[in-house]
Amino acid sequence: MRRFVVTVVAVSAACVLVLSSGCSSPTPTAPDAGSAAVAPATPANAAAPGPSAVLSSPPITEPRPFPQVTVATAPARVLDALESKRAIFLVYYDPSQSVTADQKKVVAALSKKFKGLIEFIAYDLPKTDVAGTDAQKKTAAQIAELAQRLDTGYMPAIVIVTRDNIITWQSTGYYDFGPLEREILRATR
């Protein structure tokens, strides 16, 4: 799954680079001693560094039921929240991505503000190549299986679920406090 996520991110980044570079040919400069020099092409809309430069896809906001899960296909904490009819803010991170730290700050602020209204559950993308105990391997398999059932894309991936087990928001990529706050309020009405 990690290779798939890395591949999707790499392909997406390449597409953005191609699209942002434009389709115009390089602008020639004045000839220099019998040879023509070419000025380097610069992207028309170069993004500033930071979270705003991170790839994000439009969120899925069409309500739909949470997929059927069991102890084999979801971690106990998610199952407990679903069975107890608690709203869930589920987030998957890839610790190797630089945007993870920025998204964790936003989620921590949301968690502090909405503690008790919605259950915040966060998982790091499981490492399948690291040896561990049987319990760790089982948990990693559950986390990965749930991510596949939710059809998460690249990280961070956020899924907001109502008390009635309806997904009202699913996104990939970095999102600021404001849109996520609105979706928490919408999901917990």
User: What tens-digit pLDDT sequence spans the chain (189 residues)?
Assistant: 444 444 444 434 433 333 333 333 333 344 444 444 433 333 333 334 444 444 567 899 999 999 999 998 999 999 999 999 999 999 999 999 999 999 999 999 999 999 999 999 999 987 666 667 888 888 889 999 999 999 998 899 999 999 999 999 999 999 999 999 999 999 999
Beta bridge partners of 28: 38
Whole-model pTM: value is 0.69
Chain position carrying tokens 């319990």? 135
Q: Are the C-beta atoms of residues 187 and 161 closer than 8 Å to each other?
A: yes
pLDDT score, position 25:
36
Other beta carbons within 10 Å of 152: 23
Which CATH number is associated with domain 56-187? 3.40.30.10
Question: Rounded to the nearest 5°, which phi and psi values hold at 32?
Answer: -125, 105
pLDDT score, position 69:
95
Chain position carrying tokens 């979706």? 183
Q: For the chain, give every domain's residue range.
A: 56-187
Beta bridge partners of 161: 88, 167
